[in-house]
Amino acid sequence: MGERGCDAAGPDADYQLTPLTEYLRQANERTFVIIQIEEPSALEQAEAIAAVPGVDMLMLGPGDFSILSGVPGQMEHPSVLNALEKVASAARNTGKHWAATCASPEKIKEAVDKGASLTFHGNDQVYAKMGFDNLKRDIEELTGRVLCGRRDKTMRE
């Protein structure tokens, strides 16, 4: 479907063990297309975008959308919250699913309660930083020393 390149030699085609015509059928059946709305001008076309055959899901890219809307990082800004509602509405109106990037478990529940089929929260870098922050806090509590990056501040004094 559509216009795209074809690589029938990878693991998704059993390294060329799947005949090309069978691979193409399977690829079309298994491909799931999520369109991420990031620009205010795209938001105005969200319903038309969702209605395109082959589009399975819409989502708002809240970080980029906030920047391009002049409210960088303000995920609770009315324009960002309104954009999320427009994306969800466009998906519902066209019988498509919608996804949401959520900053907390509470935001995940809120999105699911509103009908989101897929939610995203954090990433490996966020979770690694949280682990290091917790370790730093535990060490500071146990030693009574304030750590700063790789060096102990008390060593400089």
Please give the Cα distance from 102 to 85 (Å, whole number).
14
Other beta carbons within 10 Å of 40 = 13
What's the confidence (pLDDT) of residue 68? 96
* Least reliable range by pLDDT among 3-7, 28-32, 115-119: 3-7
What's the confidence (pLDDT) of residue 30? 87
Find the angle CA(91)-CA(69)-CA(41) to the nearest 5 degrees: 50
CB 100 within 8 A of CB 60: yes
**Does residue 76 register a pLDDT over 80?**
yes
**Does residue 70 register a pLDDT over 70?**
yes
- pTM comes to 0.74
C-alpha count within 13 angstroms, C-beta hemisphere, residue 99 = 17
Q: Which two tokens stand for residue 121?
A: 């929260």
Please give the Cα distance from 117 to 98 (Å, whole number).
6
157 pLDDT band (50/70/90 cuts)? Answer: very low
Q: Select from 84, 89, 48, 88 the least CA-distant residue to 66.
A: 84
Q: Which two tokens stand for residue 61?
A: 């890219």
Query: pLDDT (tens digit, 9 = 90+) per residue, 97-116?
Result: 999 999 899 999 999 999 99
What's the confidence (pLDDT) of residue 146? 87
Query: pLDDT (tens digit, 9 = 90+) per residue, 139-148?
Result: 999 999 988 7
Please give the Cα distance from 157 to 155 (Å, whole number).
6
Alpha-carbon 30 to chain mean position: 20
Please give the Cα distance from 65 to 71 (Å, whole number).
9
What percent of the chain stands above pLDDT 70? 94
CB 44 within 8 A of CB 83: no
What's the confidence (pLDDT) of residue 149? 62
On average, the pLDDT of the chain sits at 90
Which residues, 6+ apart, have CB-to-CB distance to 27 below 8 Å?
Answer: 12, 13
156 pLDDT band (50/70/90 cuts)? Answer: very low
